[in-house]
Structures are given as structure tokens and as C-alpha cells.
């Protein structure tokens, strides 16, 4: 069943000078944009913003969402909103100023409509609307388009959210406990001013850390990202510039090596990894996929291969032709490893361990050899590393294929 989202954007912040709750600044954009992207990630292909007034900040936020490819409409009243949503669509209602985690959005859309997100009736959640003596509404609701139309027909002067909530409660809606399995304890929030968003950008970055990558991405790059990414996120820096910067650093590495500055080239190659990680971290925090991420990775990989070939050419002039078969062995082993990893990913439990050779793993493993000037020995060790990784992954593929065949037999 198709899913639409209705985001309320008509209440002002506690300090009216701050504007609407929905236009409060968050990660260089607005709260509304974050809500809309959360809804889209949960499966909503149509977002309707319910706004009695459309100040400039709100119009600009909607326009940015549209430019990113999202289908977003502004409704000036509940009847207008009802007309924009098909009666047979499921409707995810996002309360004005509600900020919940992607996990809670996913839980809500998997529930059976009508459904309500609930939080305990505790003093620190007094801003949430009370449902009964034990729980309050957590700001997310799943109903149908027909339910919204019926509510609009009898609304009168009643508040949209409160009326939808009361009707859902009377209809014995399913209750989804927001605190169940929520170890982070940060969401949902009901934002009523800039102060409520203080520090939330750091939470967004923490939850956006790429998973399942190699050992530099898991253990080295986060140390750099933690310093660089927060101010960039607050300024609204476009991640694409860091993706371009990562490729540029890798290209510069080849130029530096060709000019005889090998250590500088090694440093540029190493730097390209954290720059690429910052780009992905910023994009993840904004809930927006990094544009052309695959093309950027291929370009960076080709630049690294070019740097290796340039280095091998220099080494061959110094030590003889032996540098070429070692470099060729490294490249062939990595190509074979990539093929085996593609097969492994399509098998049950097919995730390679983080120590397996990878682009950044090889680059950073070269550092000790670069520091002592043993470049050829370093390439030989990297080739052995790649071959060992290929052998391990090939063995894992064989084991899983046999196990899968035994299960189907």
C-alpha cells in the first residue's frame, strides 16, 4: 500500500522570534527537512506540509527538498491536505516539532493503522500530549487517507493533531512504545525552540557512522571525522565537495610521486580516505545519499592504481624490472578479491571480516614501509596481504556454497 506523510508546520516556537518550529535550524538546514527525509526513508513517496502560513524560511526549505528529488506539497488547511492524499493511502502523521529516530519511523510504518507512537507519562515529557493516565503521544501516528478526510469533514475549530489523536485513541489504535529497545534514549523529542536541538547534530553524526567497512574506516577515520564533521554539518556544507576533494587528493598523490616526492604522495593518498569518510558521514547525518558515491569510489581507486604504477615505474628504474611483477600481483589479487567478495555478499551471512585487504587498508598499511624508505618491500607485503585476503574469502565462499547446497538438498 502506498504511503504518504503529513507534516504539521503551523506552530511557532516558544520564542516566536525564532519562527516556526519546523524552520528551526538543524544540521545546516531546517527541522522540516530532517522530518521529510525521515518520512521518505520510511517509505513515504509523497510529503504534504500542513502550514497555515508560508514564511520565506518554510518556502525555501520545501524548495530545497523538491530540488533533491522529493515530492513535497504545501497544504494551507486540513481540507486542502485531505484533497492531496488518496483515501486508500496509508498516512504517516508527523507532529509539529516532532523529532524521532529513523528506527521509530520504520516501526511506525510497519504497524497496522491506526497506530500511535507513545512515550511514558513522565515529568520530562510533559510537552507531549497526554493520551491517558500512563502514556503520552510520541508525535507519530499512522492512519489512512480516508481517516484524514473523515476528520477534516468534522473538524471545525479543533486542532488537527489533537482531533486525529482523539479519534485514533477512540478507535482503539495500536500503541507503539517508543522506549522499547531504544538504548540511545535520545528520541523522540518535541522541539519547541533552538535550545531543544542543542547537541542533536552530534547525535546525528554518531548514528550516521558507516558500518561494515574496513579497519581504517572503523578505527582510524572516526578519530578525524569526530573533529572535522560537526562544524561542517552545522554550516550546511555540501558533502559532495569532500567527495571531490578525496578524488583530488588521490590524483595529487600520483603527481607528487611522479615529481619525486614519494612521502608527500603517500600522505595525500592516506588523506583521501578520511576526506571520503567525512563526505559519507555528512550525507548520512542528513539522511541524504551521497550523489555519485560509486563513481567517486571508482575514480579514487583508479587514481590510487595510477599512483602505484607511477611508483613502480620509478622503482623499476632504480632496482630493475622486479617491481613490475610485484605490482601486477597486487593488482591481480585485488581484482580477484573484489570478484569473490561480490559472490560472498550474495550468500547467507556473507560479510567479509574487516581485516580483509581494501583500498584504504592497503594505503594505510603502506605507511611504515614509506617512512623507512622500503617502497618495494612495502608493495611486496601488500601483495601478500591481498593474496591472503583472496584465499580467505575464496574459502569462505566455498564453505557457504556447500552449506547452502546442503540446506536445499
| Residue 153, SS3 per DSSP | helix
The pLDDT of residue 157 is above 70: no
H/E stretch holding 174: strand 174-177
CATH no., domain 202-408? 1.20.120.1760
What band does 212 get if pLDDT is binned at 50, 70 and 90? Answer: low
Q: What are the CA-CA distances from residue 239 to residues 213, 262, 280, 291, 292 (Å)?
A: 19, 29, 7, 9, 11
pLDDT tens track for 158-198: 788 889 999 999 988 999 999 887 644 556 899 999 998 88
**Average of pLDDT values for 110-134?**
90
For residues 389 and 284, which has the higher predicted lDDT (pLDDT)? 389
Question: What is the reported pLDDT for 210?
Answer: 60
Fold of 3-190: Spore Coat Polysaccharide Biosynthesis Protein SpsA; Chain A (3.90.550)
What band does 271 get if pLDDT is binned at 50, 70 and 90? Answer: very high
Return d(Cα 268, Cα 254) in angstroms, integer. 9
User: Could you state, in order of their start, the residue ranges of all structural domains in the chain?
Assistant: 3-190, 202-408
**Average of pLDDT values for 200-214?**
75
Beta strands in 263-404 (DSSP E): none
Return d(Cα 8, Cα 408) in angstroms, integer. 51
What band does 105 get if pLDDT is binned at 50, 70 and 90? Answer: very high
CB-based contacts of 20, cutoff 8 Å, min separation 6: 9, 10, 11, 12, 13, 51, 55, 57, 58
214 within 8 A of 361, measured Cβ to Cβ: yes
Quick check: do 3-190 and 202-408 share a fold? no
Amino acid at each position: 500500500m502506498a504511503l504518504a506523510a503529513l507534516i504539521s508546520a503551523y506552530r511557532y516556537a516558544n520564542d516566536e522570534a525564532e519562527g516556526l518550529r519546523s524552520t528551526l535550524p538543524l544540521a545546516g538546514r531546517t527541522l522540516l527537512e530532517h522530518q521529510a527525509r525521515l518520512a521518505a526513508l520510511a517509505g513515504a513517496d509523497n510529503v504534504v506540509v500542513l502550514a497555515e502560513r508560508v514564511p520565506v524560511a518554510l518556502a525555501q526549505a520545501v524548495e530545497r527538498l523538491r530540488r533533491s528529488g522529493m515530492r513535497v506539497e504545501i497544504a494551507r488547511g486540513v481540507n486542502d491536505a485531505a484533497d492531496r492524499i488518496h483515501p486508500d493511502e496509508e498516512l504517516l502523521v508527523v507532529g509539529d516539532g516532532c523529532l524521532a529516530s529513523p528506527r521509530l519511523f520504520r516501526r511506525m510504518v510497519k504497524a497496522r493503522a491506526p497506530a500511535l507512537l507513545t512515550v511514558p507519562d513522565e515529568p520530562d515529557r510533559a510537552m507531549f500530549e497526554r493520551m491517558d493516565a500512563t502514556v503520552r503521544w510520541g508525535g507519530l501516528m499512522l492512519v489512512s487517507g480516508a481517516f484524514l478526510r473523515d476528520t477534516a469533514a468534522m473538524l471545525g475549530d479543533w486542532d488537527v493533531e489533537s482531533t486525529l489523536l482523539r479519534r485514533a485513541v477512540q478507535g482503539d489504535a495500536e500503541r507503539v512504545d517508543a522506549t522499547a529497545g531504544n538504548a540511545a534514549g535520545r528520541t523522540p523529542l518535541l522541539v519547541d525552540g533552538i535550545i531543544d536541538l542543542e547537541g542533536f547534530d552530534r547525535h546525528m553524526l554518531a548514528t550516521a557512522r558507516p558500518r561494515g567497512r574496513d579497519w581504517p574506516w572503523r578505527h582510524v577515520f572516526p578519530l578525524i571525522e569526530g573533529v572535522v564533521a560537526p562544524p561542517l554539518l552545522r554550516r550546511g556544507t555540501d558533502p559532495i565537495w569532500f567527495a571531490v576533494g578525496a578524488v583530488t587528493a588521490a590524483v595529487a598523490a600520483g603527481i607528487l610521486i611522479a615529481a619525486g616526492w614519494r612521502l608527500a604522495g603517500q600522505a595525500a593518498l592516506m588523506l583521501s580516505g578520511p576526506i571520503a569518510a567525512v563526505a559519507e558521514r555528512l550525507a548520512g547525518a542528513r539522511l541524504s545519499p551521497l550523489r555519485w558515491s560509486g563513481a567517486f569510489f571508482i575514480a579514487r581507486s583508479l587514481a590510487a592504481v595510477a599512483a602505484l604504477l607511477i611508483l613502480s615505474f620509478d622503482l623499476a628504474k632504480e632496482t630493475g624490472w622486479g617491481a613490475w611483477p610485484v605490482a601486477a600481483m597486487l593488482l591481480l589479487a585485488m581484482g580477484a578479491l573484489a570478484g569473490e567478495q561480490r559472490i560472498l555478499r550474495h550468500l547467507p551471512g556473507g560479510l567479509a571480516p574487516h581485516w580483509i585487504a581494501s583500498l584504504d587498508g592497503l594505503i594505510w598499511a603502506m605507511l611504515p614501509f614509506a617512512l623507512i624508505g622500503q617502497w618495494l618491500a612495502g608493495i611486496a607485503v601488500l601483495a601478500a596481504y591481498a593474496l591472503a585476503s583472496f584465499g580467505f574469502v575464496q574459502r569462505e565462499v566455498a564453505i557457504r556454497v556447500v552449506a547452502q547446497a546442503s540446506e536445499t538438498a
